[in-house]
Chain A
Amino acid sequence: MSAVVLGAGMHPWGKWGRPFTEYGVAAARAALRDADLAWTDVQYVVGAGTIRNGYPGFVAGATFAQAMGWSGARIASCYAACASGAQALDIARTRILAGLCDVAMVVGADSTPKGFFKPVGGDRPDDPDWLRFRLLGATNPAYFALYARRRMALYGDTAEDFAAVKVKNALAGSLNDNARYRRTVTAGQVLDSPMVADPLRLMDICATSDGAAALVLASEDFARRHGARGPVRLAAVSTVTPSFPDTVLGLPDFATDSTAAVPPPERTFRASIAHAAYEEAGLGPGDLSFAEVYDLSTALELDWVEEIGLCPPGEAGKLLRAGDTSLGGRIPVNPSGGLASFGEAVPAQAIAQVCELTWQLRGRAGSRQITGARVGLAANQGLFGHGSAIIATT
């Protein structure tokens, strides 16, 4: 038995300056239209939360449920930073698989302030996120830059390689009506953009955006009774922590775990996220038709390409240069345009990834359609040790 996706919907991403609830409702209604269901058919609703919208964000499920009109549905809210949407999906899918409901709605939306993400205000020296800014000024892009510089030192990747990721993803994003950035870019534009955190430039780093995404999930039996033909199946939802000792410096930490007493695990944290999903789905990287990965920076996409097993460590640049990860390539990565084209709307982005999996697997991704797409993987990592990956199949 599987949980299936009956409906997928988004509000276009951008800087719209409206309350996040509006975006979420728009996405939820789009997902319901796609599923050919009414709001009152939804038995369970999960809202992915954000901490930047204060009190309403903490209770996202109820905020969306009230905005859609109280319907007496079962409800949950969940916050797991960038993995919030995936965890919300996990909760809904699990409830369906347990037989506790037939139809569930998962929704995430955000209105994001301009500039660097920064911690909640006040004087809070017991919060590692607050401390990393206070003591070091270590922004999220600073961590992405550490990973990027490490790639250059270990594998010989260049700024031109990183720019080529942006060029690739911007081209895909130019074909996506929901993307914030719809213009193609040249490598020269990326390399001429201002340096933010050496070696990453402004156009190497994803923006912060407003946006929303929603999914209607159902049991297979319900989908059949409802007349859905060949719905997309969720073959795996992995939500894992790192394994001790985590030897890659992660946001917002000051240091890695020590290997003084325990040797490093077989897989890095990011690699373990995809591995858990492959194990659950009984599939491997060779089965994938495409992948959506967390390109918070251009260089980070190359890390992910290796960590989801598309090639050995150090060889993602080779795949990129060969065009393998482009639309029309052997294994397209971020056919939606990725975060490079959407920007970050934290509680929505993992759900948005699954919207793209759904549209691609239905063969309805328009001019960015991957021919014969049968299996898609979406991977992401949430601050403070939340990892998640989702595998969807036809």
Chain B
Amino acid sequence: MDAPVIDGWFTVDGGTAHLLGTRCADCRTVCFPPRTGFCPNPRCAGENLAETRLSRRGTVWSYTNACYPPPTPFVAAEPYTPVTLAAVELAEEGIVVLGQVKDLTVEELHVGMELELTWGPLADGPPVWMWGRP
């Protein structure tokens, strides 16, 4: 795998993709993207945020696509095929995470269906996390 498009947000371990969040040692609040410094819970003074791998499966909260090429700094493929996006709810963490969808169009998605984390390359090469068919 090339260097990820951003450091520390996801990893591919033995071919399996994982989102990397943080968990507050004091109140157990989970964050994605990972945070440094201070827990976002306004009633928690926690400063010990440990890296945690998020659940790899969740249910679709909602989805859409980009029928026109998104503007820079996105790098669109030539010829352009619509990017599909899904917001996926991870039950254990109580968090909804947005990502590109791999190899599925909006016609094949519905709210509530299960998706699994995977990864794929952006048009200019670096890998990013994606949601895919389990």
Which residues from chain A sit less than 8 Å from chain B, CB to CB? 115-116, 118-119, 121, 123, 125, 130-139, 142, 145-150, 153-154, 194-200, 244-245, 247, 249, 253-262
Q: Across the interface, which residues of A come within 8 angstroms of B125, CB to CB?
A: none
Asked if A130 and B73 make an inter-chain contact with CB atoms under 8 angstroms apart, the answer reads yes
B66 contacts A139, CB within 8 Å?
Answer: yes
Chain B residues near A116 (CB-CB < 8 A): 68, 70-71
User: What 7 A-B pairs are tightest by C-beta distance, nearest first?
Assistant: A259-B94, A137-B70, A153-B111, A145-B64, A137-B74, A118-B71, A146-B62
* Chain A hits for B66, CB < 8 A: 137-139, 142, 197
Determine if A249 and B98 form an interchain contact, defined as CB atoms under 8 angstroms apart. Answer: yes
Report the minimum CB–CB distance from A247 to chain B (whole Å): 7
Asked if B3 is at the interface (CB within 8 A of a chain A CB), the reply is: no
B contact residues vs A (CB 8 Å cutoff)? 5-6, 24, 27-33, 40-44, 61-74, 76, 83, 85, 87, 92-100, 106, 110-112, 122, 128
Complex CA gap A207/B110 in Å reads 28
Given known contacts A149-B62, A262-B27, A262-B29, A119 and B67 CB-to-CB distance under 8 angstroms: no
Q: Find out whether the CB atom of A196 lies under 8 angstroms from the CB atom of B67.
A: yes
The answer to whether A149 and B100 touch across the interface, beta carbons within 8 angstroms, is no
Residues of A within 8 A of B42 (CB): 244
Having A137-B69, A249-B62, one finds 19 other A-B pairs with CB under 8 Å, namely: A116-B68, A116-B71, A136-B83, A138-B98, A145-B64, A146-B61, A149-B63, A153-B62, A154-B111, A196-B67, A196-B68, A197-B66, A245-B94, A249-B87, A256-B95, A257-B31, A259-B95, A260-B28, A262-B27
CB pair B6–A138 under 8 Å, yes or no, is no
| Chain B hits for A195, CB < 8 A | 67
Q: Do A153 and B32 touch across chains, with their CB atoms under 8 A apart?
A: no
Provide a sorted-by-A list of 25 A–B residue pairs whose CB atoms are within 8 angstroms.
A119-B73, A130-B73, A133-B72, A134-B5, A135-B6, A135-B128, A136-B74, A136-B85, A137-B85, A137-B100, A139-B71, A146-B63, A146-B85, A149-B63, A150-B61, A197-B67, A198-B65, A254-B97, A256-B96, A257-B31, A257-B95, A258-B32, A260-B92, A260-B94, A261-B44
Q: Which residue of B lies closest to A132 (CB)?
A: B98
Contact B93 A260 (CB under 8 A): yes
**How many angstroms between the C-alpha atoms of A253 and B94 in the bound complex?**
16
- Which residue of A119, A136, A137, A150 is within 8 Å of B111 (Cβ)? A150
Q: How far is the CA of A197 from the CA of B85 in the complex (A)?
A: 10
From residue A120, how far is it (CB to closest CB) to chain B in Å? 10
**B6 cross-chain contacts in A, Cβ below 8 A:** 125, 131, 135
Of all chain A residues, the one with the shortest Cβ separation from B94 is A259
Across the two chains, which residue of chain B brings its CB closest to A134?
A: B73
B94 and A149: CB pair below 8 A? no
> How close is A125's CB to chain B, nearest CB, in angstroms?
6
